[in-house]
Amino acid sequence: MTYNIAIDGPAGAGKSTIARRVAKELSFIYVDTGAMYRTIALSLLRSRINAQNETQVAEALPEIQVSIAYQDGEQQMLLNGENVSGLIRTEEVGNMASKAAALPCVRAKLLDLQKELARTHDVVMDGRDIGTNILPEAQLKIYLTASVDTRAARRFRELEEKGMAGSFEEIREDIIQRDEQDMHREIAPLMQAEDAIFLDSSDMTIDEVTEKIKSLCR
């Protein structure tokens, strides 16, 4: 049997940084499910499909092939065979992903891939509905959050490092809007699973959060 750690939480809570670290230290695979939604979003943006138009999206989906590969232990996203990992980190793609992720047809498309990875590997999987929906049997579930200002500041710094920063206020507004969308959709909304452990990382370092999760795991 495989060991699965589910990490859910709102945008900018530090899920990917923490999940990647924990996975590395435990020799598990890190699975970034947000990247899968972002890959579909990129494809929809390229085809100028409106994510609010479910019929159009459903028609486009069969032509969108999402798969993953690992390069030096890092998850790479393939869109119809093209490595798009470097193209999916923009706010535009993130917002589109949040819209598309509210559609049942989009979620259904990614369900098997996510479940299969966890069935066949020890994983740290992060997203919005991992503990509640995708891996209800995960041995350890974490709900990782931080204050809106902390999350916006982290996102701002991350984008700044990539030379892509917009205004702090805009990023903060984006985060609030994205949380609203992700928490209030009908299907698989972001929420803390009953058996998930709540961690607020606002005043914790990356090392502290990583150690906490590892000790919970032990």
Stretch touching ligand DC by CB under 6 A, among 58-66, 94-102, 116-124, 151-159: 94-102
Distance CA 18, CA 15 (A): 5
Distance CA 87, CA 46 (A): 11
Stretch touching ligand DC by CB under 6 A, among 17-25, 67-75, 97-105, 163-171: 97-105
Distance CA 208, CA 80 (A): 39
The CA-based dihedral angle spanning residues 128, 142, 77, 12, taken in that order and rounded to the nearest 10 degrees = 70
- Binding test (CB under 6 A) with ligand DC, winner from 20, 21, 109, 128: 128
Interaction between residue 11 and ligand DC (CB under 6 A): yes
CA angle 210, 3, 114 (to 5 degrees): 95
Distance CA 139, CA 159 (A): 33
Interaction between residue 37 and ligand DC (CB under 6 A): yes
Stretch touching ligand DC by CB under 6 A, among 58-66, 123-131, 142-150, 152-160: 123-131
Q: Toward ligand DC, which CB reaches closer, 34 or 172? A: 34
- Residue 160: φ, ψ to 5°: -60, -45
The distance of closest approach from Cβ of residue 188 to ligand DC in the complex, given in angstroms and rounded to an integer, is 7
Query: Footprint of ligand DC on this chain (CB under 6 A)?
Result: 11, 33-34, 37-38, 94, 97-98, 101, 127-130, 178, 182
